[in-house]
Amino acid sequence: MRAAGGYPAVAHSCQPATDILARVGDKWSVLVVILLGNGTKRFNEMRRLINGISQRMLTLTLRGLERDGLVTRTVFPTVPPRVDYALTDLGRSLLGPISALGAWAFGHRQEIDAARLAYDIRADTDSSS
């Protein structure tokens, strides 16, 4: 059974956390938050620094992060207009958990690679039978 929004059905009280985790767990959101953790950036600067992100995906990601109060967007009245993006205090508070998760992933990468290899070998063996 699937709940509204495409998420697996969860208790109604868990839905707010599920929505937030979907945003902050998105790979592009994580990369943008990490990048902005180093200071204010302009759109095209971020696009150059985040390998593989399209203009549309960066726009959608920034809008979502801004909507959630994690990023601010400041427009300067120049020609052409200059737009800067920065983390809010709330966004900066996310850097610790993201860094901890990244450190965990880096520290356990060999175990995860070994588990994946063992799984793939089992799956290949099972599909050959």
Residue type, 44: N
Triad 88, 69, 5: Cα angle to 5°: 150
> Does position 50 have pLDDT exceeding 70, yes or no?
yes
pLDDT band at 8 (very low <50, low <70, confident <90, very high): low
Overall average pLDDT of the 103-113 stretch:
93
Angle of helix 109-128 relative to helix 95-107, nearest 10 degrees, comes to: 60
Q: What is the pLDDT of residue 22?
A: 79
Between residues 108 and 102, which one has the greater pLDDT? 108
- Dist. CA 75–CA 33, nearest whole Å: 19
Mean pLDDT of 48-65: 95
pLDDT of residue 1: 39
- Convert the pLDDT of each residue in 30-46 to its tens digit: 999 999 999 999 999 99
Among the ranges given (16-20, 27-31, 122-126), the one the predictor scored with the smallest mean pLDDT: 16-20
